[in-house]
Amino acid sequence: MVSLLPRAPYLACLGNPTARASTSSLRLPAMSSSAPAPAATAAAEPEASRPRKMPVLLFDVMDTVVRDPFYDHIPSFFQMSMKELLESKHPTSWSEFEMGLINEGRFSLMPSIGSHLP
């Protein structure tokens, strides 16, 4: 595989799950230099004995490769614009119902999106 960039702009290193929580799993790529700082050299020696972490490059593919039909189909199902849909729904009823904070009876009493339909 040929890369046009010398290194990916941001890399996430997936570490060992049993590793210390104080070490960050997200790191910027290491830049090469001719003379590393003395403190960095001393800190790097214990890490040299551990197996090397493999970098992972993450891509955001939503609405570029993968299309989310929610914004097109849900408002048209209720015969509303997206603005009307957001204004008519209760702001917390669905999340409260899903988390078990309210039961089905209480959820059905809250104003719902489809209540204006015959």
Range of the domain at 99: 70-116
In 3D space, the residue among 61, 60, 83, 59 whose CA is nearest the CA of residue 71 turns out to be 83
**Spatial distance between the Cα atoms of 75 and 113, rounded to a whole number of angstroms:** 10
23 within some domain: no
User: Rounded to whole angstroms, what are the CA distances from 39 to 7, 24, 82, 117?
Assistant: 25, 18, 56, 68
**Spatial distance between the Cα atoms of 68 and 61, rounded to a whole number of angstroms:** 11
For 11, the 3-state DSSP assignment is strand
53 within some domain: no
Residue 95, both tokens: 């999340």
How much is the pTM?
0.37
pLDDT digits (tens, 9 = 90+) for 42-93: 555 666 677 888 899 998 888 788 888 888 898 899 898 989 988 888 888 8
Q: How many domains does the chain have?
A: 1
27 within some domain: no
